[in-house]
Structure 1
Amino acid sequence: MTETLYPELPTTRSSPFDPPVALGVLRESEPITRISFPDGHLGWLVTTHALAREVLADNRFSNRAELQRSPIRAGGKPIPRQPPAKPGMFINMDGQDHAKYRRLLTGQFTVRRMNQLIPRIEAIVRDHLADVRAQGPGADLVEAFALPVPSMVICELLGVPYEERESFQRDTRTSFTLTHDFEEIRAAFERIEGFVADLVRRKHDDPGDDMLTGLIETGELTDEEVANMGLLLLVAGHETTANMLGIGTLTLLNHPEQLAALRDDPSLVDNAVEELMRYLSIVQFGTTRVALEDVELGGVTIKAGDSVNVHIPTANRDPAKFDHPEEFDIHRPATGHVAFGHGVHQCLGQQLARIEMRVGFTALFREFPDLRLAVPAEEVPMRDDMAIYGVHKLPVAFS
């Protein structure tokens, strides 16, 4: 395979629901491609499902913070290299450091424990849909439903006072907004760090039946480690699921025949959630790994120190894995997608996210059988400017 040098990662979409067309062309013609990163580094871009899984499962590719280079810009400028991850920031660690923290959290995220949360999640959804109904005959579904439901769930799970949500929601939004300068993004993230650190200090005097208290009580972690683990869960636990609820609703409204099938047979909701995850893949710029040694991949040699961007949305549209992948079809057996990642860094909270989406979509379309967009679909503001894709607002109407 030739090592064609491609310019920086394409980010312009031709449709609100589809990855950039250029990436699909690359997937078919040159699935592993030389690409220029914004800081001038010459790395690689992977676009097929098989190669994506191969990279994500291979411990010769690192996720350590200090090795990372971003394939996108913030405020029009390259994102600077970062120092090593702070204690507890396990997402950007490898090997035993990563395994230690993940082990302590795995017990908190068992399928059994997540299933025990279903009645509470159902109650939270029911209460927010009642508020939406009270606002009628229309509402912004992001503000009234998609954002507050997962925010309240993760707040209760971690033991974060829900009345304090506005500050971390605002700073989380800033930290994912790519039109901001990196210094603004860093400052927002540091404010969230301070917020969670203060909360952990308060937990010593006022413990509860929550994850932060549980992590403190293991006796294996410093307060800094607990706070940083909590920060990662807090940010990821509401931002990703909120955007899936928002853009997932838009997708279903935009495919009325699929929505009708889901209404006729609510048991399809499990499949619908998996297909939405595959079809939308809201981590829109993929994820990057760095080779720790020379690795043969897809017919080329990845040199030690080379960055490899794994483009999740394009991999999840790979016709070698999924029949008619450009079609949204809730009848599809959509297992095998990499929307939650793959390998040791696969999303720890994926079962919780699935439950929130299953409960949320089922209740939403049952409560509002005539739910419809209040504006033309092309006027819905999309989150092209955010690392996590979705909709900024979703104006809907109902009887």
Structure 2
Amino acid sequence: MDVDLISALTSPERDTALERLCAGPPVKTATYFDGTAITLVTGYEEIVTVLSDPRFSNDPSKQTKLDFSDVTGLPEEVRPYFAAALGAQDPPDHTRLRRLVSKGFTFRRVERLKPRIQQITGELLDALPREADLVTELAYPLPIRVICELLGVPLEDQDRWRRWARGMSSLDPEIMGASSRGLVAYIRELVEVKRAEPGEDLLSALVAHDELIEPEIVSLSLSMLLAGHETTVAMISGGVLMLLNHPDQRERLTTDPEAVADAVEEFLRFNGAADVGVFRYTLEPVELGGVTIPADEPVMPLYFAGNRDPRNYPQPFELRLDRGRADHLAFGHGMHYCLGAALARAELQIVFTELLRRFPDLALAHPEAPPTWKPGPSRALDTLHVRLR
């Protein structure tokens, strides 16, 4: 079965196209954006194997089929900072770097952050006009303010960070290039500030580690900013859209706020922030799903399909907010499981609880023109105009 992945991810009927990829064998051949043949993994258990078996590498330098030297659209001088992200590392480097940064995302630290998340959420909801674009006026500013405070970015600089972070997802190469340069230059300057005047923030803690060099600190900061921020932005707006499309289930959450935690897990399963995961590369031949994947093969896990595998989820194509399952693939699996998962869950639970408490009759402002998804591997809305009653 040969699948044209780019057609599915750019189709106006994206969900219908992706649902077709769920059918058939759990391991199949697909065509990547540049025409290269890759292996696409769609079964839940098979994806878990890809994400946890050491025969699959995250490091693009350990494969020869795909050329990533110029596909990112990033300026050459900043590309190394993004290429060295945690998601592109294998042990022992990944183990060392994750150990150093994971202390900033402990359960205890996230619990201490919750009152501040609640406060920021309240301020943003207070400022919403009667008709609002929840993408630009809630989904973007909330996580960027939280991650900036966690890292130690001064309040007066956070608007710039917000513009740069949003520019990183632009399809305009000039906007993306300017945003990436701005982020890297600013983080390098902030690192020097934290060396001279350390605080209680995460960036100061990273700077204090003698074993971390400056490019690693910059790369880790970028990883935390972009991975955590974009995921939460997509899930806030996408979750609201799911509630608007399922008014009966929204009513249940409005009358039972304690059910929001389970609902967030189902949002993450049903329409997580990324339909596909980052590439893994076989270091040797691997038997998977009845197929022998050769060595040096790019392997892409399709989270959309894994989260709808009927072998793991009854009625997988139904949104059931009482499903109560947290074993989805929205945050990955294994040693690369999202560091900021607890923080993202806290933000999502707080924002949905408060939004429904304040605006139980939330509605689409223009139901005749439903929102559209941006093309590409991420599941993100362009806009979400709602009417607040």
TM-score (norm 1): 0.88
How far did 1:363 drift? 0.7
Which residue number corresponds to residue 357 of structure 1?
348
State the one-letter code of the partner of 1:264.
Answer: T
Asked if structure 2 preserves the Cα contact closer than 8 Å seen for 1:52 and 1:315, the reply is: yes
Whether 1:341 and 2:341 are equivalent positions in the alignment is no
Distance 1:147 1:343 in 2: 28
Counterparts in 2 of 1:112-261, with a 5 A limit? 112-132=108-128, 135=129, 137-177=130-170, 179-181=171-173, 185=176, 188-261=179-252
State the one-letter code of the partner of 1:277.
Answer: L
Whether 1:50 and 2:50 are equivalent positions in the alignment is no
Unaligned runs of 5+ in 2: none
Q: Deviations over 1:95-143 (max 9, x none)?
A: 11000000111222111111111111111111111112xx3x2222222
Q: Deviations over 1:298-322 (max 9, x none)?
A: 1111111100110111111111111
State the one-letter code of the partner of 2:112.
Answer: Q
SS at match of 2:92: helix
1:394 pairs with one of 370, 384, 389: 384
Which residue number corresponds to residue 55 of structure 2?
60
Distance 2:251 2:271 in 1: 20
Counterparts in 2 of 1:10-89, with a 5 A limit? 10-13=8-11, 15=13, 19-21=15-17, 23-67=18-62, 89=85
Asked if structure 2 preserves the Cα contact closer than 8 Å seen for 1:287 and 1:312, the reply is: no
Asked if structure 1 preserves the Cα contact closer than 8 Å seen for 2:63 and 2:297, the reply is: no
1:371 pairs with one of 338, 362, 366: 362
Deviates more, 1:186-195 or 1:273-282: 186-195
How far did 1:87 drift? 9.1
SS at match of 1:176: coil
SS at match of 1:53: helix
Q: Deviations over 1:256-280 (max 9, x none)?
A: 1110011111111110000000011
State the one-letter code of the partner of 2:220.
Answer: M
Asked if structure 1 preserves the Cα contact closer than 8 Å seen for 2:4 and 2:30, the reply is: yes
Q: 1:88 to 1:11 in 2, by over 3 A?
A: closer
Asked if structure 1 preserves the Cα contact closer than 8 Å seen for 2:237 and 2:384, the reply is: yes
State the one-letter code of the partner of 2:2.
Answer: L
Distance 2:114 2:194 in 1: 25
Distance 2:366 2:386 in 1: 8
SS at match of 1:120: helix
Asked if structure 2 preserves the Cα contact closer than 8 Å seen for 1:65 and 1:85, the reply is: no
Distance 2:58 2:277 in 1: 13
1:385 pairs with one of 375, 381, 384: 375
Asked if structure 1 preserves the Cα contact closer than 8 Å seen for 2:274 and 2:303, the reply is: yes
Deviates more, 1:59-68 or 1:329-338: 59-68
How far did 1:185 drift? 4.0
Which residue number corresponds to residue 3 of structure 2?
6
How far did 1:67 drift? 4.5
SS at match of 2:347: helix
Distance 2:190 2:11 in 1: 40
Distance 1:188 1:68 in 2: 29
Counterparts in 2 of 1:284-299, with a 5 A limit? 284-299=275-290
TM-score (norm 2): 0.90
Q: Deviations over 1:222-265 (max 9, x none)?
A: 22222221111112222211121111111111111110011111
Q: 1:369 to 1:161 in 2, by over 3 A?
A: same
How far did 1:12 drift? 4.1
Q: 1:233 to 1:374 in 2, by over 3 A?
A: same
Asked if structure 2 preserves the Cα contact closer than 8 Å seen for 1:201 and 1:223, the reply is: no
Identity in percent:
37
State the one-letter code of the partner of 1:109.
Answer: F
Distance 1:250 1:7 in 2: 28
How far did 1:78 drift? 5.8
How far did 1:45 drift? 0.6
Which residue number corresponds to residue 298 of structure 2?
307
Unaligned runs of 5+ in 1: none
How far did 1:206 drift? 2.5
Which residue number corresponds to residue 310 of structure 2?
319
Distance 2:353 2:280 in 1: 36
Distance 2:332 2:250 in 1: 27
Deviates more, 1:337-346 or 1:293-302: 293-302
Asked if structure 1 preserves the Cα contact closer than 8 Å seen for 2:65 and 2:297, the reply is: no
